[in-house]
Amino acid sequence: MSADVDPFYAISISGLAQKLKAEGRSIIHMEFGQPSTGAPKAAIARAHEVLDTDGMGYWESAPLKARICRHYAETYGVTVEPRQITLTCGASPGLVLALSATFKPGDVIAMARPGYVAYRNTVKALNMTALEIPCGPETRFQLTAATLAALDPAPAGVIIASPANPTGTIIPGDELAAIAEVCRARGIRIVSDEIYHGLTFGEPTRSMLEFEPTTIVVSSFSKYFSMAGWRLGWLIVPREEASRAVAYMGALFLTAPSLAQHAALVAMDCKDELEGHLATYRRNRELLLDALPRLGLERIAPPDGAFYIWADVGRLTDDSLAFCKQLLTDTGVATAPGIDFDPVEGRRFIRMSFAVSTPEIEEAIRRLVPWFEAARAKAA
């Protein structure tokens, strides 16, 4: 019998936002982790050219796989062969492939709590066991080598995310190295979600492949490359597991979208435009961090990367879903309830995405400050 999975509550927030917008309300969408910008201009131009000249079909782009290999060599100093890469229909199917091709039903997969809702849901849907490990501010809401070393018995696998969703925290290189050492010693397979790489506001992130070559990497063009709707990602597996990943991809999804592959190859060389998006996120982050004390939200995770603020609203509510609905109804600002990412402690957290335009962030702050002032006064 298939396992039940939890709903993605942010979708209900988005549905309410769409309803209010249809009624003529001004809505600022900070509930989803998707860039408000589109794909790079040159990538869009390439897509138009392909639409006019190519009937397309089932296809996997050898040039794109080679370009991804070059990206890992230039960015992380690691060698990846094209045969190790499977192009996927986004990171979510990539996670399905990583788990289904590597683990078996009943296997225990460890992950941080809070963490992305799809981790535990995908693990459960595949009839594996999600071992959610509570992680708080003392570990920057991240798993540590010491935590993994203390698990008894050792899980079959662990999902690592750096930068993480919903917190934006990054695991430093020395801790990644320590995690890799523990996992090697205990026979724990590592699945590294690296979809937010490139979106950092200090030191760049390190790939887990730098420390453990058997790591299974899930990544995507959705975040840094601003191509969420194009549904294209990639999976990197060890050489000896490549044919298994390809077989699973073909059986479950056939191939990744052809048009997206053509556009993505061009997008990978649009660095100036993409870094401009990052500059916008950096400015948005600064504006929000400056405004948070006026909102009374001083207990947050350090947003080292990605484009999120994970904020403790426990002084105001113990029902983050109802809180986000009321906030949206009153202000037109949509945020995500913490219970999506932490079914235990998330009732007192919300996540705000700052991957919108800077004018929208400025307007959101104008709306949020008086609302939070009134909420604090009511709770006093």
Query: Which tokens belong to 53?
Result: 């000249």
| Tokens standing for residue 118 | 């799809």
HEC readout, the chain = CCCCCCCCHHHHHHHHHHHHHHCCCCCEECCCCCCCCCCCHHHHHHHHHHHHHCCCCCCCCHHHHHHHHHHHHHHHCCCCCHHHEEEECCHHHHHHHHHHHHCCCCCEEEEEECCCHHHHHHHHHCCCEEEEEECCHHHCCCCCHHHHHHCCCCCCEEEEECCCCCCCCCCCHHHHHHHHHHHHHHCCEEEEECCCCCCECCCCCCCHHHCCCCCEEEEECCCCCCCHHHCCEEEECCHHHHHHHHHHHHHHHCCCCHHHHHHHHHHCCCHHHHHHHHHHHHHHHHHHHHHHHHHCCCCECCCCECCEEEEECCCCCCCHHHHHHHHHHHHCEECEEHHHCCCCHHHHEEEEECCCCHHHHHHHHHHHHHHHHHHHHHHC
308/169 Cα distance (integer angstroms): 9
pLDDT at position 379: 84
Asked if pLDDT for residue 272 goes beyond 60, the answer is yes
Quick one: residue 235, left, alpha or beta (phi over 0 = left, psi -120 to 50 = alpha)? Answer: beta
Chain mean position to CA 306? 8
Averaged pLDDT for residues 196-203: 94
pLDDT at 203: 83
At residue 56 the predicted structure's pLDDT band, cuts being 50, 70 and 90, is confident
Amino acid letter for position 213? P
pLDDT category of residue 380 using cuts at 50, 70 and 90:
confident
Mean pLDDT of 49-63: 93
pLDDT digits (tens, 9 = 90+) for 225-239: 999 999 999 999 999
| pLDDT tops 70 at residue 264 | yes
Find the distance separating the first CA and the last CA of the chain, reported in whole Å: 48
The three-point CA angle 351-271-353 to 5° equals 10
Q: What are phi and psi of 298, to 5 degrees?
A: -105, -10
Q: What is the pLDDT of residue 7?
A: 80
Q: What is the mean pLDDT of residues 43-71?
A: 95
Question: Is 3.40.50.10320 the CATH number for 55-270?
Answer: no
Position 110 confidence tier, pLDDT thresholds 50, 70, 90:
very high
- More confident site: 129 or 1: 129
Q: What is the mean pLDDT of the chain?
A: 95
pLDDT tens for 283-311 read: 999 999 999 999 999 999 989 999 999 99
Tell me the pLDDT tens digit for each residue of 140-183: 999 999 999 999 999 999 999 999 999 999 999 999 999 999 99
- Residue 137: asked if its preceding bond is cis (omega within 30°), the reply is no
Quote the tokens at residue 296: 């009374």
pLDDT of 1 higher than 70: no
Give the pLDDT band (50/70/90) at residue 73. very high
Q: What percent of the chain has pLDDT over 70?
A: 99
pLDDT digits (tens, 9 = 90+) for 214-227: 999 999 999 999 99
pLDDT at 89: 96
Q: Note the CATH architecture for domain 9-39+272-379.
A: 3-Layer(aba) Sandwich (3.40)
Instruction: Identify the pLDDT of residue 204.
Output: 87
Q: Answer whether residue 21 shows pLDDT above 80.
A: yes
Q: What is the pLDDT of residue 3?
A: 67
Instruction: State mean pLDDT over 8-20.
Output: 93
Residue ranges matching CATH 3.40.640.10 in the chain: 9-39+272-379, 55-270
What's the pLDDT band for 2 if we cut at 50, 70, 90? low
Residue-level pLDDT at 8: 86
Residue in the structure block whose two tokens are 């199917």:
93
